[in-house]
Amino acid sequence: MGMKLACLGLLGVLAFAQETSTERDAARDVLHKMSDLETSLDVRTIVEKITVNNPARDQVAARAKELMEKELLAMSDDITKHPEIGFEEYKSIEKLTTYLKQHGFEVTMGAANMKTAFVARYKGNRGAPNLGVILEYDALRGTTRAFHGDQHSSQGPVGMAAAVAIAELLEKSKMPGSVTVFGTPGEEMMPPNAKTDMFKAGVFNGMDILVRSHSSSTTSRPAAGFGTCCLNIDGVKYTFSGAPSHQMTPWAGRNALEAVIHLFNNIDAVRSSIRPEARIQGVITEGGAAPNVVPDRAVADFYIRYPDEVYLAQVREFVDNAAKAAALATGTKVKIDNYGQDRDGIAVASLSELAFSYMKKYGATRIAEQPGKPQGYEETGSVSSEIPGIGFSAATSTWPNHTYEMETDALGEIGHKGFTVDAQAMAALLYDYLTHPEYRGQVKREFDGIKTLFDEYKSSLRKVYVKPNVVDPK
């Protein structure tokens, strides 16, 4: 952490979160206010104050380390070696929930109507502050096999080490506080968008803070502000229905595949009318069964991306209209299903700088000294823009995410080291949050401040993305 933390934070925001000149113009005032907010919070001083020698905190972190070394690294290896893709993680959650039950947690399966989602509340919970720990466990879909190339296999063990260490502290000290573990399936897939659905179902209600870990090839933390790794996304499925007939008399049917081809061509035809930062890419998931039958059903699946959600709505309208035009032109019908959304999340420096400081203290390697792009601690933005939190990302591999090599590293020394660092840092930060009311106040002030500025940013964007006036033809 540098001397000019507030400054670096602001630079991070300026450099990364706003990707277009329109966004940077719209954000100018907001960024100045954010800089003032960060300066007034003086994160560096509070982090220095909190991280001074504290045997009680070190004991909780040491317990998390012990749990990792004695039992949980072995469980992480076991889950890595038995990968299960999203929403089919039955064996993985069996291992995780059995462990939680053995350590005094009451487990409720099937959160938000998803079979592999769960909530585990510690039986000795004693009111606020309410600490939440998010676990993921789904593997990636490979071409030959499922694999843990994103190391979600370790997230359960890491989160449980911290949660159990905190639960034991609550038991021993009788201090007020609660710890709840959330099993969130299918991070690599949508639909459904598991965390968004869980949030909408009220599963995270009452949480004051949420934490999780994630694999990384560097030890990093986000700058304060709002943003996302990979643009705001709408996941949309376009299903066309037609009528079948013999290939020799195709005029007797209506060709749904032709409609899908029109959809792609219609989009390409208007790309010049859409701001260039948009990413509109789709695949055809159904396109008929046999060449001698006119396809009466065809489906295209799109991820539509834009740096901000305000202009994204206009991009969506172009694509939806391209689909409607395709149906009209081919005499078919279209159903539009917006099955998922990823949005900007919020990152607070009060949490990320403390997390970063602990990751370094406990021996993290491959340190990225500068804060990264501001982004939330989970992929949907729906939770991280409503509840403050932090993702721990100590270096756990020398390879990039979503590779077979990263899966191998989960079983090796670099993985084991990084997971243990994450568990210790998570336990230490949760301890601090539990025991320092003024720190909790600071986190809340920063989060609320950024949230207000995020809203201000979106309303200033709404003013600049004016649509042209298209007159009626005479």
- Non-local (6+) Cβ contacts of 157 within 8 A are 68, 72, 73, 75, 76, 79, 419, 423
Shortest distance in whole angstroms from residue 134 CB to Zn ion: 12
Q: Which stretch binds Zn ion (CB under 5 A): 64-72, 110-118, 146-154, 261-269?
A: 146-154
- Residue placing its CB nearer to Zn ion in the complex, 150 or 308: 150
Q: How far apart are CA 264 and CA 392, in angstroms?
A: 40
Q: Which stretch binds Zn ion (CB under 5 A): 52-60, 142-150, 253-261, 346-354?
A: 142-150
Does 344 participate in binding Zn ion (rule CB under 5 A)? Answer: no
Kindly give the pairing relationship between strand 333-342 and strand 297-306: unpaired
Residues of span 383-422 touching Zn ion by CB under 5 A: none
Question: What is the size of the binding site for Zn ion (CB under 5 A)?
Answer: 1
- Residue placing its CB nearer to Zn ion in the complex, 150 or 353: 150
Shortest distance in whole angstroms from residue 359 CB to Zn ion: 18
Shortest distance in whole angstroms from residue 161 CB to Zn ion: 19
The binding track of 166-195 with respect to Zn ion, each residue x by CB under 5 A or -, is: ------------------------------
Q: What are all long-range contacts of 86-91, with beta carbons under 8 Å and residues at least 24 apart?
A: 86/138, 86/185, 86/186, 86/187, 86/188, 86/189, 86/194, 87/114, 87/115, 87/116, 87/138, 87/185, 87/186, 87/189, 87/194, 88/116, 89/116, 89/137, 89/138, 89/139, 89/185, 89/186, 90/115, 90/116
Q: Are 131 and 177 in contact (CB under 8 A)?
A: yes
Encoded tokens for 389: 């939190």
Shortest distance in whole angstroms from residue 291 CB to Zn ion: 40
Q: How far apart are CA 199 and CA 197, in angstroms?
A: 5
| DSSP letter assigned to residue 138 | P
- Residue placing its CB nearer to Zn ion in the complex, 125 or 217: 217
Shortest distance in whole angstroms from residue 9 CB to Zn ion: 25
Q: Which stretch binds Zn ion (CB under 5 A): 12-20, 126-134, 145-153, 251-259?
A: 145-153
Residue of the chain from 23, 84, 138, 150 that contacts Zn ion (CB under 5 A) = 150
Secondary structure (3-state) at 430: helix
Between the two ends of the chain, the Cα-to-Cα distance in Å is: 65
- Residue placing its CB nearer to Zn ion in the complex, 150 or 296: 150
- Residue placing its CB nearer to Zn ion in the complex, 137 or 433: 137
Q: Which stretch binds Zn ion (CB under 5 A): 30-38, 116-124, 149-157, 427-435?
A: 149-157
The binding track of 201-240 with respect to Zn ion, each residue x by CB under 5 A or -, is: ----------------------------------------
- Residue placing its CB nearer to Zn ion in the complex, 83 or 177: 83
Rg (CA), the chain: 24
- Residue placing its CB nearer to Zn ion in the complex, 159 or 177: 159
Q: Which stretch binds Zn ion (CB under 5 A): 35-43, 143-151, 163-171, 415-423?
A: 143-151
Shortest distance in whole angstroms from residue 117 CB to Zn ion: 16
Q: How far apart are CA 438 and CA 352, in angstroms?
A: 17
Nearest residue to Zn ion on Cβ basis: 150
Shortest distance in whole angstroms from residue 19 CB to Zn ion: 22
Shortest distance in whole angstroms from residue 83 CB to Zn ion: 13
Q: Which stretch binds Zn ion (CB under 5 A): 150-158, 218-226, 336-344, 466-474?
A: 150-158
Asked, as a colleague might, if the bond just before 129 is cis with ω within 30 of 0, I would say yes
Q: What is the DSSP string of 203-267?
A: TTTT-SEEEEE---SSB--BPSEEE-SS-EEEEEEEEEE-B--BTTSGGGSB-HHHHHHHHHHHH
Q: Are 241 and 297 in contact (CB under 8 A)?
A: yes
- Residue placing its CB nearer to Zn ion in the complex, 148 or 416: 148
Shortest distance in whole angstroms from residue 141 CB to Zn ion: 13
Q: How far apart are CA 243 and CA 135, in angstroms?
A: 46
- Residue placing its CB nearer to Zn ion in the complex, 23 or 379: 379
Element (H, E) at 285: strand 279-286
- Residue placing its CB nearer to Zn ion in the complex, 38 or 150: 150
Shortest distance in whole angstroms from residue 391 CB to Zn ion: 10
- Non-local (6+) Cβ contacts of 160 within 8 A are 67, 72, 96, 99, 100, 103, 133, 135, 181
Does 38 participate in binding Zn ion (rule CB under 5 A)? Answer: no
CA 186 to chain centre: 11
- Residue placing its CB nearer to Zn ion in the complex, 177 or 418: 418
- Residue placing its CB nearer to Zn ion in the complex, 150 or 344: 150
Shortest distance in whole angstroms from residue 93 CB to Zn ion: 17
Does 89 participate in binding Zn ion (rule CB under 5 A)? Answer: no
Asked, as a colleague might, if the bond just before 191 is cis with ω within 30 of 0, I would say yes
Amino acid at 359: M
Shortest distance in whole angstroms from residue 187 CB to Zn ion: 5
Q: Which stretch binds Zn ion (CB under 5 A): 144-152, 220-228, 353-361, 413-421?
A: 144-152
Q: Kindly list the residues in this chain that would bind Zn ion in the complex (CB under 5 A).
A: 150
